[in-house]
């Protein structure tokens, strides 16, 4: 493959060479590993990372696909290299998002009488079903106002002082795992919004939450146990995503379905729904 040399390497934190190198390191791949996986020469990859060669549009898409870079960041790669973005970020009410939103509504409705939400990559709640809204209302009708933020945000619900913590029986076990999951997602998905949320909420957390889980039982899944007004609810989460998303908004949607971890919790939600 011919190499198109530049007059000098690209500079700046968001230049293409830096973006490529950062994401390769995030995926813990050597230049040789990435070159073999992407079907390019290690020499050419080295030239791209150093800024000595300019990538083609197809090369950018090929490398970002190999590195499983989220669509929003693939657009950043293209822009940094002087190309137009390839992927649109349609609002949820865009007519072309009707199929996606229909699927989300179906998943949330079919999961009733148990709670489920659709989240973006910053854990803002984009859609929720009635059982989830009932669960949030148990914490207080004003809970979203107490935790603040422009959006209903699941991280704020858990980690803001006005949120759910006083009612979580197994906080020392579940909170560190949830916090570390958010950190991993922020890194893996390039989520600047989530990093900002974590930075803001970090000031309220103790060392046990930030660094180590305590008393975590060795079970397949660790439930979240909430106790409020005599009710005790035990739930665990299953996450679903769109595997072939070609839109930034769809690519970033996560469906979190909460399942009862014991018979008492199952009966509570079924009775509340009259089923």
pLDDT confidence of residue 217: 52
User: Would you tell me the crossing angle of helices 16-26 and 42-50 to the nearest 10 degrees?
Assistant: 120
Read off the tokens for 131: 């059982």
Task: Give the C-alpha separation, 249 to 49, whole Å.
Answer: 29
pLDDT of residue 190: 67
Beta pairing, strands 125-128 & 231-240: unpaired
Q: Of 20, 75, 14, which Cα lies nearest the Cα of 44?
A: 20
Cα separation, 105 vs 99, in Å, equals: 10
What CATH fold (topology level) applies to the domain 16-80?
A: 434 Repressor (Amino-terminal Domain) (1.10.260)
Domain boundaries, the chain: 16-80, 95-273
Q: CA torsion sign, 145 to 150 to 151 to 156?
A: negative
The pLDDT assigned to 97 comes to 93
Q: In whole angstroms, what separates CA 69 from the centre of its chain? A: 13
- In Å, how far from its chain's centre is CA 63? 22
Mean pLDDT, each 10-residue run in order, the chain (275 residues): 39 76 94 96 96 96 95 95 95 93 96 97 95 94 93 95 94 89 81 87 84 56 90 94 91 95 96 88
Q: 174 by DSSP, 3-state: which?
A: helix
CATH number for the domain running over 95-273: 3.30.450
Q: How far is CA 213 from CA 74, 179, 220, 236, 256, in A?
A: 34, 10, 16, 17, 22
Mention every residue, 6+ apart, whose C-beta is less than 8 A from residue 233: 135, 225, 226, 227, 265, 268
Q: Which two tokens stand for residue 97?
A: 């998002």
pLDDT given for residue 14 in this prediction: 64
Q: What is the pLDDT of residues 235-266, one digit of tens each?
A: 999 999 998 889 999 999 999 999 999 999 99
Q: pLDDT digits over 58-98, tens only?
A: 999 999 999 999 999 999 999 999 999 999 999 999 999 99
């Amino acid at each position: 493959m011919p190499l198109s040399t530049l007059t000098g390497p690209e500079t700046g934190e968001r230049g293409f060479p830096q973006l490529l190198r950062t994401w390769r390191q995030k995926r813990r791949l050597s230049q040789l590993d990435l070159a073999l996986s992407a079907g390019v020469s290690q020499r050419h990859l080295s030239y791209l990372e150093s800024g000595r060669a300019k990538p083609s549009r197809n090369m950018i898409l090929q490398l970002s696909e190999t590195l499983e870079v989220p669509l929003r960041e693939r657009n950043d790669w293209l822009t940094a290299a002087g190309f137009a973005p390839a992927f649109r970020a349609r609002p949820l009410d865009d007519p072309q998002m009707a199929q996606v939103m229909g699927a989300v509504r179906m998943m949330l409705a079919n999961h009733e009488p148990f709670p489920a939400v659709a989240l973006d990559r910053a854990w803002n709640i984009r859609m929720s079903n009635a059982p989830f809204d009932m669960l949030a209302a148990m914490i207080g009708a004003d809970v979203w106002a107490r935790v603040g933020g422009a959006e209903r945000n699941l991280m704020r619900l858990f980690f803001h002082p006005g949120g759910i913590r006083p009612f979580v029986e197994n906080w020392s076990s579940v909170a560190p795992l949830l916090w570390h999951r958010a950190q991993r997602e922020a890194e893996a998905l390039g989520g600047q919004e989530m990093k900002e949320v974590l930075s803001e909420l970090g000031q309220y957390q103790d060392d046990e939450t930030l660094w180590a889980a305590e008393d975590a039982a060795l079970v397949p899944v660790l439930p979240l146990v909430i106790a409020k007004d005599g009710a005790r609810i035990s739930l665990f989460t299953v996450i679903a995503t769109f595997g072939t998303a070609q839109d930034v908004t769809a690519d970033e949607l996560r469906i979190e379905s909460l399942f009862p971890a014991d018979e008492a919790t199952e009966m509570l939600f079924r009775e509340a729904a009259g089923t």
